[in-house]
Structure 1
Amino acid sequence: MRSTILRAAAQAARRADSEMLKKGAKRDPELWVSTLQSVTSLRLTHLKVLFGVMSGAFGLAGYYFARKPTSPVSEVKVSVAQMPWEDTSSGETQANFKYKYHPGANPKNTPQEAPSALNVVVVPNVTLPKVLHETFNKDGKDGY
Structure 2
Amino acid sequence: MASFAARRLFPTSSRRVFSTSLRRLENVVPKEELKQQTKRNPELMILGGVMVAAIGGAGFYFARSPTGVTSESVVNIAKSGMPWESDTDGKYHYHPGGDPKKDPKQAPSALNVVIVPDVTLPKEMHDKFNKWGKDGYP
Task: Tell me, yes or no, whether TM beats 0.5.
Answer: no
> Relative CO higher for 1 or 2, CA cutoff 8 Å, sep ≥ 6?
2
Larger Rg: 1
* Bigger proportion of residues as helix: 1
**Normalized against structure 2, the TM-score is what?**
0.31
